[in-house]
């Protein structure tokens, strides 16, 4: 086995993917012929349900780019998506067997390669799945990579992640990814819209994040965002809002080292060094 399976969170869930056939960089081939009729039908149902609720909730960039995914009735072939994607922002998607170690993840993003899980949830997981499957990754993340500023931000995030790994600051930086690429909101013409993949691929959290009075909504602020813990299996208690993707890209211009040092001095980080 070239690589070790990656188990996330509490570690009691065995990894879903077939890591035995992954390359050393954790990428694998999308074995499109292995998808069953049920797999394609699950994708079709998820796509249909999610797309019906986008107007008034999803950001313009997502709605405009979604058609580039092509097939709606079946799981698209990744190479078919790569054609328009590479032309648009020089990104490409690569298949992975599931969650991969942080450094491997950062390295792929730094190379403008987005890892897309190649398996899809079972029908009984239709409502909710903890680990990202092909619907979360392909439907949630990939349309946003057609937006030039966001595409550059994700690559810069990958480069920053490799640096954070050397500084032992992955936990802090992963919160920035969580509250932007996964669960970010943007203000468009004065109205809130979702651009985070975790929201855009979730039937429940999409309306909740934009319309519910329950969660906090704050302007994205590097320090505050990187100090805000998150849970992977419930709706967010706080969403961070940007005014434009250019603002997001510009905010991550600088060197984060002083930020990490400043946070290490704060009580919540001093307590347990890992900050988990
Ligand atoms: N692996 N395949 C995959 N997809 C992710 O979104 C992902 C990952 N590994 C680590 C990870 N995300 C997060 O911990 C990042 O913040 C690094
Ligand atoms: Fe994701």
| Mutation pick for ligand 1 pocket among 17, 100, 164 (CB with most ligand atoms within 8 Å) | 100
Other Cβ atoms closer than 10 A to 59: 25
Residue pair 237/216 in contact by the 8 Å Cβ criterion: yes
pLDDT at 276: 41
Mean pLDDT, residues 195-199 taken together: 98
Q: Which CATH superfamily is domain 19-263 in?
A: Aromatic amino acid hydroxylase (1.10.800.10)
Mean residue pLDDT across the chain: 93
- ipTM passes above 0.90: yes
* Closest among 106, 203, 182, 83 to 137, alpha carbons compared: 182
3-state DSSP helix/strand/coil percent for the chain, to nearest 5? 50, 10, 40
Nearest to 241, CA basis, from 263, 225, 260, 259: 225
Residue 137 in contact with residue 119, Cβ under 8 Å?
A: no
Return the closest-CA partner of residue 175 out of 254, 116, 94, 232. 232
At residue 14 the predicted structure's pLDDT band, cuts being 50, 70 and 90, is: low
How far does residue 116's CA lie from ligand 2's centre (Å)?
9
CA of 190 to the centre of ligand 1 (A): 32
pTM value? 0.94
Instruction: Give residue 11's pLDDT.
Output: 56
Contact 177, 120 (CB under 8 A): no
pLDDT (tens digit per residue) in 217-228 = 999 999 999 999
- The 10s digit of each residue's pLDDT in 158-172 is 999 999 999 999 999
Q: Is pLDDT of 176 > 90?
A: yes
Span 78-125, pLDDT tens digits:
999 999 999 999 999 999 999 999 999 999 999 999 999 999 999 999
Residues 65, 174, 201, 209: which is the catalytic one? 201
- Residue 10 above 70 pLDDT? no
Pick from 7-11, 21-25, 145-149, 264-268: least confident: 7-11
Give the pLDDT band of residue 231 (cuts 50, 70, 90): confident
Task: Determine the Cα angle at 167 with ends 110 and 221, to 5°.
Answer: 75
Interval 201-208 mean pLDDT: 97
Q: How far apart are CA 145 and CA 147, in angstroms?
A: 5
Ligand closest to Cα of 141 equals: 2
pLDDT of residue 275: 43
What ligand is nearest to the CA atom of residue 177? 1
State residue 203's pLDDT score.
Answer: 96
Q: What is the pLDDT of residue 1?
A: 53
Sequence-distant (≥ 6) Cβ neighbours of residue 83 within 8 angstroms: none
Domain ranges of the chain: 19-263
Locus of tokens 């109205």: 191
Helix (H, G, I), strand (E, B) or coil at 266: coil
- Count Cα neighbours of 257 within 13 Å in the Cβ-side half-sphere: 5
Nearest-10 crossing angle of helices 148-167, 170-177: 160
Is the pLDDT higher at 264 or at 240? 240
């Amino acid at each position: 086995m070239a690589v070790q399976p990656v188990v996330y969170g509490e570690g009691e869930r065995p990894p879903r993917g077939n890591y035995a056939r992954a390359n050393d960089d954790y990428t694998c081939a999308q074995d499109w012929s292995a998808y069953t009729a049920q797999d394609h039908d699950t994708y079709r149902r998820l796509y249909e349900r999610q797309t019906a609720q986008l107007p008034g909730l999803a950001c313009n960039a997502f709605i405009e780019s979604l058609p580039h995914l092509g097939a709606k009735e079946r799981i698209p072939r990744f190479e078919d998506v790569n054609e328009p994607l590479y032309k648009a922002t020089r990104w490409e998607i690569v298949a992975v067997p599931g969650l991969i170690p942080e450094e491997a993840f950062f390295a792929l993003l730094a190379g403008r390669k987005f890892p897309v899980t190649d398996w899809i949830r079972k029908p009984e997981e239709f409502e909710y799945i903890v680990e990202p499957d092909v619907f979360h990754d392909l439907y949630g993340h990939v349309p946003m990579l057609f937006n030039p500023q966001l595409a550059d931000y994700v690559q810069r995030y990958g480069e920053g992640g490799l640096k954070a790994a050397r500084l032992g600051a992955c936990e802090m930086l992963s919160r920035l990814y969580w509250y932007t690429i996964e669960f970010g909101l943007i203000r468009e013409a004065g109205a809130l819209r979702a651009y985070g993949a975790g929201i855009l691929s979730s039937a429940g959290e999409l309306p909740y994040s934009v319309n519910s009075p329950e969660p906090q909504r704050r302007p994205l602020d590097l320090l505050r965002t990187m100090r805000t813990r998150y849970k992977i299996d419930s709706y967010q208690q706080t969403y961070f809002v940007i005014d434009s993707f250019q603002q997001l890209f510009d905010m991550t211009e600088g060197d984060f080292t002083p930020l990490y040092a400043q946070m290490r001095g704060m009580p919540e980080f001093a307590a347990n060094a890992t900050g988990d």
